Structure 1
Amino acid sequence: MHEIEPYYNWLKYYDASNDPQSPFYGKEYNYDLYSENIYGYFIDPAWDFFGSETLYMKVLFANYEEGFIIIEFIGEWNDAINNDIMHLKRNFIEHILSTGINKFILIGENILNFHGSDDSYYEEWFEEVEDGWIAALNFRDFVESEMANFEIDSYINFGGKLQVMNWRTLTPMALYQVVASLMQRRLSVG
């Protein structure tokens, strides 16, 4: 797992440690020290801790004028034991919502498992985005299936055309436009 890095080619567009509105503002990264781990497996130092022992994140891009954020995840999303959604919601999402962000692009290709529980934090998050949305890109099929078993798909959109395999070839704005277009179609059909 230590070889899986968050996507870094967008650092020329955005760096959360240089963003005064980011919860990670001012964070200094020591790329020589691997201190964070998931189940005893060290992870790359560039991943950010938000309170969960099994799930880490990296804010790849935030645009406050357009009101969207792109977040990449690594690890196991475990609501049953670690209540990861509570940590994400209370320690990160609430802060980001206060900046005017209401559209969330979650990249989950490095989420290795999902264990569900109560959906109340998802429901709360969904209600707070109001005119926005939450889109999950590239989550593994079995992770999406497990999320659907816990009815998370009532709050987070995933599957189908949200498998945007070429997202790394796009700029952050181009990815946002692709996802926003897909979400507009989903919302107008639903």
Structure 2
Amino acid sequence: MHQIEPYYSWLKFYDSSTDELSPFHGKEYNYELYTDTIYGYYIDPAWDAIGSETLYIKILYADYDNGYAVIEMIGEWNDALHNDIMHFKRNIIEHMILQGLHKFILIGENILNFHGSDDCYYEEWFEELEDGWIVAVNFREFVTDEWKNFNVDYYINFGGQFDHMNWRTQKPGDFCERIESAVTKRLGL
């Protein structure tokens, strides 16, 4: 786990620690000291804590003019034991919505498991996104299968072309526009 780093090639476009509107503004990273763990396994110090024991994130990009946020995730998304969606929604998403972000792209290649509970926080998040949406990119099939069991698919777009996207080869603005185009077609907007 400690060798899995958040994607760093977009740092030239965006750094959440230098963004005055970011929930992580001013955070200083010590890349020599590994302190955070998921189930006893150390994770790279570049990941950001959201208040959960099992789920960490990295805001890879925020575009306030167009309302986009790209968030990479790592760990186990556990709503049953740790209410991770509550921590994510209250500690990160609500802050970002107040800053005008309303189009969320979640990168889930490093989400290793999902344990669901109810869908209240997902519904609340979705309802707060006037003219916005939530898209999940590259989540594992067994994770999205569990999402369907807990009705998360009512609120988050995933599947199809969102399952196998090569997003790292694109500039963040281009990637966001590509996602928006796909969502627009999918929703018939």
TM-score tier, shorter chain, comes to over 0.9
Structural mapping, 1:35-50, within 5 Å: 35-50=35-50
The equivalent of 1:157 in structure 2 is 157
Q: Secondary structure at the match of 2:49?
A: coil
Structure 1 CA distance, aligned partners of 2:165 and 2:29? 28
Structure 2 CA distance for aligned equivalents of residues 81 and 171 of structure 1: 37
1:24-63 correspondence to structure 2 within 5 Å? 24-63=24-63
Q: How far apart, in 1, do the equivalents of 2:142 and 2:130 lie? A: 29
In structure 1, distance between residues paired with 2:129 and 2:164:
23
Give the TM-score normalised by the residue count of structure 1: 0.98
Alignment of 1:1-190 (within 5 A): 1-188=1-188
Matches of 2:150 and 2:164, distance apart in 1: 24
Root-mean-square deviation (CA, aligned residues, Å) is 0.8
Deviation beyond 2 Å, 4+ runs, structure 1: none
Deviation at 1:8, TM superposition (A): 0.1
Q: State percent identity of aligned pairs.
A: 65
Q: Structure 2: give runs of 5+ residues left out of the alignment.
A: none
Deviations 1:48-102 (A, max 9, x none): 0010100000000000000010000000000000000000011111110001100
Cα deviation 1:116-155 (Å, max 9, x = unaligned): 0010000000000021000000000000001111010000
d(CA) in 2 for partners of 1:115, 1:163: 20
Unaligned runs of 5+ in 1: none
SS at match of 1:143: helix
Cα distance in 2, alignment partners of residues 11 and 90 from structure 1: 25
Equivalent residue letter for 2:59: V
Find the aligned partners of 2:60 and 2:149 in 1 and give their Cα distance.
29
What is the CA–CA distance in structure 2 between the aligned matches of 1:136 and 1:26, rounded to whole Å?
28
**SS of residue paired to 1:148:** helix
- TM-score (structure 2 length as normaliser): 0.99
CA drift at 1:163:
2.1
Q: Aligned-pair distance for 1:166?
A: 1.1
**1:187 CA displacement:** 1.1
